[in-house]
A = this chain, B = another copy of it.
Amino acid sequence: MKLSKKGIYGLRAFVDLAVYSENEPVSLSSIASRQDISVNYLEQLIAKLKKADLVKSVRGVNGGYILAKPIEEISVGEILRALEGDLTPVDCPGIKSESQCESAKYCVSKTVWKKINDSINETVNQINFGELVKESKEMQKG
């Protein structure tokens, strides 16, 4: 039951990107050096963010990445889901449709798994990315 480094490094990198990409694209190599993550590995993480339309890329010299939309419109849930896949600790077919899971009829744990899945998603969806970035900027000033 751990969030993998994909999620942890990825969110860190995304905060970094948000902080430094206000005026121009930020290259992976600059994020990598600030955050101490290898460029090669970062590539994989950012690819997931791009696929989820959270960042846009600018190729070529002086290229890099920029945010695809205003930070206020992004939740931490979106970011983590892009990086980690869905944040449902338990894959239980019975949660979504009654009939798919053969043991669903007698599987009482279903309600437990649903509660767990819902709570984690609600939590991360409620965390606004803009707030996080704001907080981060203030930390770096002080």
Contact = CB atoms under 8 A, between A and B. Distances in A.
A108 interface: yes
Contact of A123 (B115, B124, B136, B139): B115
A35 to B, nearest CB: 9
A139 B106 contact: yes
A118 to B, nearest CB: 8
A140 interface: yes
B120 A135 contact: no
A91 B8 CA distance: 10
Interface residues of A, number: 39
Interface in A1-27: 1-4, 7-8, 11-12, 15
Contact of A11 (B89, B109, B132): B109
B90 A3 contact: yes
A90 B2 contact: yes
A119 interface: yes
Contacts of A58: none
Contacts of A109: 8, 11-12, 15, 132
B124 A116 contact: yes
Given A4-B1, A7-B1, A139-B106, A112 B127 contact: yes
A4 to B, nearest CB: 7
A116 B141 CA distance: 27
